[in-house]
Amino acid sequence: TDLSRIRNFSIVAHIDHGKSTLADRLIQETNTVAERDMKEQMLDAMDIERERGITIKANTVRIDWTAADGKDYVLNLIDTPGHVDFAYEVSRSMRAVEGSLLVVDSTQGVEAQTLANVYQAIDADHEIVPVLNKIDLPASEPARVAEQIEDVIGIDASNALLVSAKTGQGITETLQAIVDHLPAPKGDADAPLKAMLVDSWYDSYLGVIVLVRIIDGKLRKGDRVRFMGTGTVHHVDRIGVFRPAMTVVDELGPGEIGFLTASIKQVRDTKVGDTITHEKRPCDKPLPGFKPSVPVVFCGLFPVDANDFEDLRDAVDKLALNDASFSHEVESSAALGFGFRCGFLGLLHLEVVRDRLEREYDIDLITTAPSVVYHVHMKDGEVMELHNPADMPDVTLVDHVEEPRIKATILVPDEYLGDVLKLCQDRRGIQLDLTYAGARAMVVYDLPLNEVVFDFYDRLKSVTKGYASFDYQMIGYRQDNLVKMQVLVNEEPVDALSMMVHRDRAEMRGRAMVEKLKELIPRHMFKIPIQAAIGGKVIARETLSAMRKDVTAKCYGGDATRKKKLLEKQKAGKKKMRQFGKVEIPQSAFINALKMD
Ligand code: GDP
Ligand code: MG
């Protein structure tokens, strides 16, 4: 295709501002999909994403459109994941296109993810076309929101498009603006092949499918290509484009976006951001800035029923096939039996994976408290990466511990500002900035990631009644007074409940944990001390007193059938008991103790 007839773009938006609906409308308007095949939110492939309204994997579609000049154009839309956990994938897919539609809900205005995503687009040198969406709604204030875009983001919004992705108003104008205002790609068809690996996923029929953007040269079926970052060579057996259904083509040239398959078995071999070139006539240097994304949040996943372990193994192996940023290794715990220590890009990623395991594979799971990766500096100079608090070395061997910090941006209506500042302060935050964007305050905090993975987002939502928006990026590691807190039941440590905490917050967390456990562990014939400790020092303690009477007598008096039922229930429950020294603790106690509240 003639380069001047190609436009490559992505859509950036805060969640719920209408990105998917707009993409659907663009596809529909251009008859890319026959009317009867059009289902809502074409681009959100997985059910779980549809339900949660989030798009996780980048998706792409090629749209043919005849512009006002009567010429035919090829518009390639790459739909980027909208969530912060996938920031690296967003930044890579941004680099595969030249422009962005900036969608802002004209009833809401600029939000935290609007900012985060548009800054990524600016970083990628995009031309940006602002789209004010939902103008069909009575609460729409396009003039105010356009002004806000200029004030807060600093881009010209005087030619912002007025759109209703719902009714279709402004869609033709949007297509025309893409042709008029976004630049055509550049590239040299005769140069050696240079293509960017934008994304990849596993397909059970075709193996791994690789989404590519051709920079220079041509890619054809039958080519032998090298992935420069991983060093592997593959034989290309199929190339094509998405309309959005996969459609085979003969070749892909500069500026084009499409897919290849090459009998690749696992997505691990296809790193997002890698450069693809010909084995025989390689390009001289790869695209800049390739770095594989690494997990930052870890937790243990254990089957509630120990018999499900093999099923869980199959399920996590399958998931890992399709998700290179998800890591897992077998973990065994005295409390929870066999399970997996899993790594995620962030909390949302964790939730999505856990949900899929429970739903698609039908396995009930216990999730241990999420933990970040600490850098433990040993006295002998060695540095270890700590993924699991249970592996924390003896304190006498440790010089100091560093934890990951984030820069969090929160937009919030004025009236909730005080509560948000208090929340950030409570979580050991350092305020970096406080400005106003219209009637909303924008606060920027330096926060420990560890305090954010622990229910921060839920708290933020509840103190602001859902009106705050939040986004973050990692800023690096910093030393602090971090210690491992252990929980002991009848003097026996319970590994699954160990956690890393800041020394100043240890008493509070320890107290909360022992109080909860006191409620959850059934009484025995003897007294049971429940303690939280750092090193050898006990910082919180509760005592579960001994059982005095027969529980059945106490609870149910003389009712024989109810008594029988209770005994049966207890018998069934026995199977799910775990033994700690002399103490039996029901599995449910761990599940509940690990629940965050
Ligand atoms: P995304 O999270 O940015 O992909 O947003 P969606 O496309 O999923 O849209 C979020 C919600 O807004 C959905 O309920 C849409 O039906 C609705 N929506 C999107 N565009 C419009 C619009 O132009 N007008 C109205 N009234 N609703 C819209
Ligand atoms: Mg969406």
Torsion angles phi and psi, residue 435, rounded to 5: -135, 175
Atom 24 of ligand 1, nearest CA residue: 134
Residue 47 has a pLDDT of 45
Residue 57 has a pLDDT of 47
Residue 44 has a pLDDT of 47
CA 32–ligand 2 middle distance (angstroms): 19
Ligand nearest to the CA of 49: 2
Residue 566 has a pLDDT of 64
CA 242–ligand 1 middle distance (angstroms): 23
Atom 18 of ligand 1, nearest CA residue: 18
- 32 Ramachandran zone, left/alpha/beta (phi>0; psi -120 to 50): alpha
Residue 334 has a pLDDT of 75
* Residue 21 marked as a ligand binder: yes
**Helix H segments across 361-455?**
417-426, 449-453
* Residue 305 marked as a ligand binder: no
* Residue 134 marked as a ligand binder: yes
SS3 32: coil
* Residue 66 marked as a ligand binder: no
Residue 288 has a pLDDT of 83
What ipTM is given for this predicted complex?
Answer: 0.99
* Residue 8 marked as a ligand binder: no
Which atom of ligand 1 lies closest to the CA of 135? 23
Please return the burial class of 345, using the count of CB atoms within 10 Å of its CB with bins 0-12, 13-18 and 19+.
Answer: buried
CA 160–ligand 2 middle distance (angstroms): 21
Pairing of strands 577-580, 194-203: unpaired
Return all residues near 433 (Cβ < 8 A) that are at least 6 apart.
Answer: 442, 443, 444
Residue 33 has a pLDDT of 56
Torsion angles phi and psi, residue 213, rounded to 5: -115, 120
* Residue 406 marked as a ligand binder: no
CB within 6 Å of ligand 1 — which residues?
13, 15-21, 53, 133-134, 136-137, 164-166
Residue 46 has a pLDDT of 44
C-alpha atoms less than 13 angstroms from C-alpha of 81 in its C-beta half-sphere: 22
Q: Among residues 416, 465, 415, 469, which one has the least CA distance to residue 109?
A: 469
Ligand nearest to the CA of 26: 1
Q: Tell me which of 15, 16, 141 to substitute to probe ligand 1's pocket, judged by most ligand atoms within 8 Å of the beta carbon.
A: 16
Strand partners, 493: 488
Ligand nearest to the CA of 171: 1
CA 550–ligand 1 middle distance (angstroms): 59
pLDDT per residue of the chain (597 residues) written in tens, 0 to 9 = 799 999 999 999 988 999 989 998 998 888 765 555 555 555 544 444 444 444 444 478 899 999 999 999 999 999 776 666 666 677 778 899 999 999 999 999 998 888 888 888 998 899 999 999 999 999 999 999 999 999 888 899 999 999 999 999 999 999 999 999 999 999 999 999 999 998 888 877 788 889 999 999 999 999 999 999 889 999 999 999 988 778 899 999 999 999 999 999 887 788 888 999 999 999 999 998 666 677 888 999 999 888 999 999 999 988 887 777 788 999 988 778 899 999 988 877 888 888 888 888 888 888 888 889 999 999 999 999 998 898 999 889 999 999 999 999 898 988 999 999 999 999 999 999 999 877 789 999 999 998 888 778 878 888 988 788 888 888 899 999 999 999 999 998 888 888 899 999 899 989 999 999 999 898 888 999 999 999 889 999 999 998 865 555 555 555 666 666 666 665 555 556 677 778 888 777 776 776 654
At 305, list the tokens: 């029923």
Residue 65 has a pLDDT of 93
Which atom of ligand 1 lies closest to the CA of 55? 4
Whole-prediction pTM value? 0.72
Amino acid identity of residue 516, one-letter, is: K
CA atoms of 512 and 594, how far apart (whole Å)? 11
Ligand nearest to the CA of 19: 1
